[in-house]
Structure 1
């Protein structure tokens, strides 16, 4: 019996290494198989990972393959990929940065660019050449034709005075009368060409066409064809929009932060990427009716009339500033649950994420207090595409295993 147990023990001792070796090989084989096995993730939800194709249980998008064993924290892109993703960089440098307070405002027609067309003579509107508002007219363009007996009488008076001068050319009295009669026609907006034509034809014409005295858009039409109008009666209003007022509201306690002549930034709704510079021209010392607000005003150019009166336009009033800071455009900084980071171009086409700490921030720039040094080449457009590409290729957040860059 003892002999039999001894044989079993010896056999076990001899076979154990072989069994262990086989088990190790099987484990190694399974490990290699697992490492080489293709994995899939959702490009929108990288926390979804599985070993076979399928759809995302969150958004329903098709899963895409990725390499879960990739340890390199950098991304390498070709020239075509960089161009397609619109990835641009800038070299970080020291500059000043200001914080702003936003004042709610609006664009308003500039009264100095408004012209009221009124009748120089009493009479009847025979023809309106422009019959609706919103139409653009140019200086010199015919606007209306009027029938005026008073103007006809003045024309007849001038013809008689001119005939007397022609008959008695040396009589200074007749010359003065002719000059006065001509001046009356000029005061009724008769041009030299019209007066000379009257002399040439020797015929009174009670129908007179009046042109636009300025260019602009018709904002108000006060008469219609066939209507009688008195001398000085308003016919239409023209507004030019190549320059607009910007009016913004401010509380009296905040008024000390702004002064006439100060330069401020203006953001027109829909054109946030194109801030305009405006000089404050007027601060109303009285409160607006029915409110506890004062009003700040300035003017901005309106190229090609692309903005319309009534659009929202906010004034950015600087309230705090810092000098000698590192700053980046807001779009260059990516924020998620694990922190704040930017992308650095380490070499041509090679990008690396870096954790940063931010400070003062305004609508278009943010201060970097830690994580960067002057001279770093930082991605300022396309950073979010790099972030998405990293999660797609690596299957993980770029900040998951990264601490702040040490300097």
Structure 2
């Protein structure tokens, strides 16, 4: 009997350590689950595509990485009141109102090709004298441009003198008069003026040198030859640009272009000459978008009689827009625009900000119509929206409107 009691006690003592070990093991596992530390991730403020699991520097720009919430799906940002004040984040309760005014378009002054003159050599020869040797020089109509030496021209002059002498021997002969007229026309086609032809008849001496004059006034934009160079018939000599009338080109989004018509009158203000607004008639709307952008262009022309404006100056074009009533409007800066869409930031509670995808309608310099995405009474961020946008990308490492749909 005592033997059986001894065996039972021994078996019990052998079992206790294993139970104790199992209990400790399960306790350690449970502690591991409760006290598990969430892995921190880091990104570059300038290159959000760089994501690492440890602190370091960006391999692209060398900036220190900052922590962010890689796997957070929460759309809201939490910004306390102190940080809101430092970032100048202010809000506005959106409501219905009237929207009117004009839409401002960014534009620029460009050269009107119709005011340009392309001058080429009318006959083969050598540039004996080049009177204009630099671009940017102003040229008046009738001003000498270059002197050409041409044996071919001397031959044509000799033919003309012989034709005149032949006509004198056969006074009144119709064929002889036609020969003289044809020889004279050749000289004119090769650049000889009426006064030069009369001088040739007077002196009876051929001259292989001919001076070519500017057909129009302008500014030398391109010079294609040098003095002493040989040119062939049709070779380009120079290009003159006239600035008496300039084109105004302005960038337009496709949804705005549909409301613009050819022949429409718009106001143009040149940067630096705000006190001298001009009226322009839209003469052309580009049928395709510019390469690499989502913009098209409108174009018109304005007079520049004193040539006070140069191509390349910035110009603002103001498109008149019809008035609208009972529409939801926001300040233009409240809407964040990027390649994936437009969104605003709505304040929920005391310190929570949430992105909201929106669609816009009519717009002027200060206000924009919100056609979809918001309702009357929403509290919307009007200053600091782009700061919230940047903060979200830094903390979450993704665009705030990913996965959003218009409500």
Tell me the TM-score normalised to structure 1 length. Answer: 0.54
Offset of residue 319 of structure 1: 1.8
Q: Secondary structure at the match of 1:197?
A: helix
**Partner residue, 2:304:** 302
Q: Secondary structure at the match of 1:300?
A: strand
- Does structure 1 retain, via aligned residues, the 8 Å contact 2:244–2:304? yes
Offset of residue 246 of structure 1: 0.3
Query: Which deviations, in whole Å up to 9, do the C-alpha atoms of 1:326-374 show, x marking residues without a partner?
Result: xxxxxxxxxxxxxxxxxxxxxxxxxxxxxxxxxxx9779xxxxxxxxxx
**Partner residue, 1:320:** 322
1:204-215 mapped onto 2 (5 Å cutoff): 204-215=206-217
**How far apart in 1 are the matches of 2:111 and 2:150?**
34
- Does structure 2 retain, via aligned residues, the 8 Å contact 1:257–1:319? no
1:217-296 mapped onto 2 (5 Å cutoff): 217-296=219-298
- Does structure 1 retain, via aligned residues, the 8 Å contact 2:161–2:201? yes
Query: Which deviations, in whole Å up to 9, do the C-alpha atoms of 1:163-207 show, x marking residues without a partner?
Result: 100111132222111111111011112111111110111111001
**How far apart in 2 are the matches of 1:313 and 1:264?**
12
- Does structure 1 retain, via aligned residues, the 8 Å contact 2:103–2:365? no
CA separation of 1:98/1:140 partners in 2, compared to 1, >3 Å: closer, same or farther?
A: farther
Offset of residue 289 of structure 1: 2.3
**How far apart in 2 are the matches of 1:222 and 1:321?**
54
Tell me the TM-score normalised to structure 2 length. Answer: 0.54
**How far apart in 2 are the matches of 1:187 and 1:287?**
43
**Partner residue, 1:77:** none
User: Is the counterpart of residue 150 in structure 1 residue 143 in structure 2?
Assistant: no
1:5-404 mapped onto 2 (5 Å cutoff): 99-321=101-323
Offset of residue 284 of structure 1: 1.1
Runs of 4+ residues over 4 Å off in structure 1: 361-364
* Structure 1: unaligned runs, 5 residues or longer: 1-96, 323-360, 365-407
* Structure 2: unaligned runs, 5 residues or longer: 1-98, 325-362, 367-407
Q: Secondary structure at the match of 1:145?
A: strand
**How far apart in 1 are the matches of 2:187 and 2:247?**
37
Q: Quote the RMSD (CA, aligned, Å).
A: 2.0
Q: Secondary structure at the match of 1:273?
A: strand
Q: Secondary structure at the match of 1:309?
A: coil
Query: Which deviations, in whole Å up to 9, do the C-alpha atoms of 1:218-276 show, x marking residues without a partner?
Result: 11111110001111111111111011000011111111221100000111111122221
**How far apart in 2 are the matches of 1:181 and 1:259?**
53
Offset of residue 307 of structure 1: 0.7
Query: Which deviations, in whole Å up to 9, do the C-alpha atoms of 1:8-30 show, x marking residues without a partner?
Result: xxxxxxxxxxxxxxxxxxxxxxx
Offset of residue 304 of structure 1: 1.1
**How far apart in 2 are the matches of 1:98 and 1:115?**
44
- Does structure 1 retain, via aligned residues, the 8 Å contact 2:253–2:296? yes
Q: Secondary structure at the match of 2:226?
A: coil
- For this pair of structures, how many residues does the alignment match? 231
**How far apart in 1 are the matches of 2:293 and 2:187?**
51
**How far apart in 1 are the matches of 2:159 and 2:232?**
21
**How far apart in 1 are the matches of 2:177 and 2:281?**
54
